[in-house]
Amino acid sequence: MGGPLDPDYDKVPQAGDFATEADPLALFHAWLAEAEAREPNDPNAMALATVDETGLPNVRMVLLKGADEAGFVFYTNLESAKGRELTANPKAALCFHWKSLRRQVRVRGPVLPVTPEEADAYFASRPRQSRIGAWASKQSRPLESRLALEKAVATYAAKFHIGAIPRPAFWSGFRLQPLEIEFWHDRPYRLHDRVVFRRARAGAPWTRTRLYP
């Protein structure tokens, strides 16, 4: 990561002694707001790690669609690899990396499905073509050709030519309830700032610990 030899290092907002912050969600939202102002693409992008039926980890990029005291929310096809893995083993980890800010946030905890009402509301907010795409894509499963996908999109575009596009039963979201949130901020000579917040269960008070980098 960056350091004192980087000519732009001093232009990056510095986190200060963020170990004094008692609320990790408040700190996360402050960092996210700065990322939204500086990151050129998808400041809400996060790596999502799950475990498959063999015990091997899987990781992929998804988009954060909400974060509050209840947890971190994202949406997917429930029949995709991540959907199946989260249903079978409802625990996950997230990683946000904002390169322009030289910051990282890692989150771990159990995962719960969002309510049907939440899923309906978010699905209805998506662009029309994205909603059609959700119907057309058999996510994570073999695709014989690009043409087959385009034909499926055309089929559903014709089906939903008029009126609202309902949310597929196989499409919904998950909420990760954080039990651990770690903040990392690049510092010169690799003497980085690291602070981890932990709690025993959702709703319990947080403890805060500074870590060696």
Residues marked as catalytic: 190
Coil, helix or strand at residue 184: strand
**Number of CB atoms found within 10 A of residue 12's CB:** 17
Q: Residue type for 147, please?
A: L
Which among 182, 49, 50, 164 is positioned nearest to 107, based on CA atoms? 182
Residues 6+ apart with CB under 8 A from 89: 50, 51
Residues 6+ apart with CB under 8 A from 175: 70, 71, 72, 73, 111, 112, 113, 114
Q: Which helix (H) or strand (E) holds 130?
A: helix 128-136
Coil, helix or strand at residue 101: helix
Q: Are 172 and 178 in contact (CB under 8 A)?
A: no
How far apart (Å, rounded) are the C-alpha atoms in residues 62 and 75? 8
Residues in the chain: 213
